């Protein structure tokens, strides 16, 4: 029976679709194999594709001038910066002369494509959403961008002599917007987000927002913090959502990992003040623009939207925890035990917890090797980074 099903699936993959010779508009509502998209005639100029996160890639013909990407909502990763230009592969169906630009990723969409619609349903529970704007500005020729109910006009190269990466973004119906000036070096390499919500607020920023938590092994936040965590504002991670507003951090805890239904616990903490945190005696919450990879030695676990084949630096980071290494931490209430964490930057698959039989990490020790198995999913993955 299994062999028959496998043969049937192979037959489905090999089945050809006959497109009209003068086809101009097309909509895909199911994942389309690569070999089928190669049959699309060069007359096609408009494509609508309904994309789900269990689909590995979307293929785009070079003949397009207009592209609409509709995405399924997934509660496990809400909100996330919408992927308007990632998970895409350009198919040259009209002898396009810009193949080299596609190969080296200077262009992420076809050269002739000037209209892009990202029709996403990725508002979080608090009505917020976000898209990566820098990829559209610097690596496409898009001039008309539609996100949800908003339509934007984009104009680049305002001052070709300045070469400062500035661009103009105007919302069509309200005429709101203006010139966005990118500050700092390597302007075209900086991440820029278009943040929006259901309440008519649109903000262009260099980052999404995070809640940073400094966790202490002492009472009353004394001494150095042992770990620092970053939660993407409004994102569900392991059944918990953290939000930041008016110098307060709200923590919503749900009965399942997908944060569905009504939270059974809501905890509110003031930022910058020592308070109660999970799994540690004390901690301090802060609202920050972006997460930071620490410069001091640390063991870092990072969870992001994407697969293990994706570059996490180009994907939305949902959660990060950085734990100090070579730092002695005692066990509360047990004067005869303490621990240190160590790791090897060349080996990202394990770390070592050294157990000491005193409270100061100076006596006899017992090293315990702890393997790390990264999470590799279709929509969420994690990595281990040894920063020493």
Per-domain residue ranges of the chain = 19-205, 209-289, 293-388
In this structure, the number of other CB atoms found within 10 A of the CB of residue 335 comes to: 10
259: Cβ–Cβ under 8 A, 6 or more apart, which residues? 75, 125, 236, 239, 240, 241, 252
| pLDDT tens column, 96-120 | 999 999 988 889 999 999 999 887 5
Helix and strand numbers, DSSP H then E, in the chain: 4, 29
What pLDDT does residue 73 have?
54
What pLDDT does residue 120 have?
54
- pLDDT exceeds cutoff 80 at 31: no
| pLDDT tens column, 198-234 | 555 565 655 557 999 999 888 889 888 889 999 988 7
In this structure, the number of other CB atoms found within 10 A of the CB of residue 31 comes to: 15
* Rounded average pLDDT over 240-252: 86
What pLDDT does residue 6 have?
47
Q: Do 281 and 332 contact (CB within 8 A), yes or no? A: yes
- pLDDT exceeds cutoff 90 at 63: yes
Sort residue 87 into left (φ over 0), alpha (ψ -120 to 50) or beta. Answer: left
- pLDDT exceeds cutoff 60 at 75: no
* Rounded average pLDDT over 248-277: 87
Q: At 128, is the pLDDT very low, low, confident or very high (cuts 50, 70, 90)?
A: low
- pLDDT exceeds cutoff 50 at 122: no
Query: What are the tokens at 3?
Result: 């062999």
Q: What does the mean pLDDT of the chain come to? A: 79
Cα-flanking dihedrals φ and ψ of residue 10, to 5°? -65, -40
What pLDDT does residue 335 have?
75
- pLDDT exceeds cutoff 70 at 303: yes
Among residues 86, 200, 206, 203, the alpha carbon closest in space to that of 148 is found at 200
pLDDT more than 90, % of the chain: 18
User: 48 or 345: which carries more pLDDT confidence?
Assistant: 48
d(CA 312, CA 277) in angstroms, rounded, equals 27
What pLDDT does residue 160 have?
45
Among residues 67, 61, 59, the alpha carbon closest in space to that of 30 is found at 59
What pLDDT does residue 189 have?
56
Which residue(s) pair with 384 in the sheet?
301
Lowest mean pLDDT among 148-157, 203-212, 252-261, 305-314: 203-212
Q: Do 191 and 207 contact (CB within 8 A), yes or no? A: yes
What pLDDT does residue 16 have?
64
What pLDDT does residue 8 have?
45
What pLDDT does residue 239 have?
87
Lowest mean pLDDT among 33-37, 151-155, 167-171: 33-37
Is the whole-model pTM more than 0.85?
no
Q: What is the DSSP string of 310-341?
A: S-GGGS-EEEEEEEESS--EEETTEEEEEEEE
């Amino acid at each position: 029976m299994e062999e028959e099903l496998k043969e049937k699936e192979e037959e489905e993959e090999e089945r050809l679709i006959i497109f009209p010779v003068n086809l101009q508009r097309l909509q895909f509502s199911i994942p389309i194999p690569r070999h089928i998209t190669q049959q699309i005639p060069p007359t096609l100029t408009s494509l609508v594709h309904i994309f789900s996160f269990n689909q590995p890639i979307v293929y785009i013909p070079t003949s397009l001038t207009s592209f609409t990407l509709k995405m399924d909502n997934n509660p496990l990763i809400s909100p996330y910066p919408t992927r308007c230009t990632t998970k895409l592969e350009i198919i040259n169906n009209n002898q396009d002369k810009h193949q080299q630009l596609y190969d080296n990723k200077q262009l992420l969409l076809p050269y002739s494509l000037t209209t892009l619609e990202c029709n996403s349903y990725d508002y979080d529970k608090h009505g917020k959403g976000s898209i990566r704007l820098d990829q559209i500005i610097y690596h496409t020729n898009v001039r008309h961008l539609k996100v949800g109910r908003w339509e934007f006009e984009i104009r680049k190269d305002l001052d070709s002599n300045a070469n400062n990466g500035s661009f103009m973004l105007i919302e069509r119906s309200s005429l709101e917007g203006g010139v966005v000036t990118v500050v700092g070096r390597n302007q075209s390499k900086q991440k820029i987000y278009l943040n929006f919500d259901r309440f008519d607020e649109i903000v262009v920023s260099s980052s999404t927002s995070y809640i940073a938590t400094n966790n202490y092994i002492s009472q009353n936040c004394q001494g150095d913090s042992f770990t620092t965590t970053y939660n993407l504002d409004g994102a569900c991670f392991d059944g918990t959502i953290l939000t930041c507003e008016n110098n307060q951090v709200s923590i919503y805890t749900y009965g399942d990992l997908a944060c569905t239904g009504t939270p059974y616990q809501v905890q509110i903490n003031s930022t910058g003040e020592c308070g109660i945190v999970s799994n540690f005696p004390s901690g301090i919450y802060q609202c920050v623009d972006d997460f930071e990879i620490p410069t001091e030695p640390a063991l870092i676990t990072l969870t992001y939207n994407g697969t293990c084949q994706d570059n996490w630096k180009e994907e939305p980071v949902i959660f990060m925890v950085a734990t100090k290494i070579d730092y002695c931490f005692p066990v509360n209430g047990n004067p005869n035990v303490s621990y240190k964490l160590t790791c090897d930057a060349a080996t990202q698959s394990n770390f070592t917890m050294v157990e000491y039989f005193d409270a100061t990490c100076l006596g006899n020790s017992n090293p315990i090797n702890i393997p790390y198995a990264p999470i590799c999913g279709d929509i969420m993955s994690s990595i281990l980074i040894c920063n020493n």
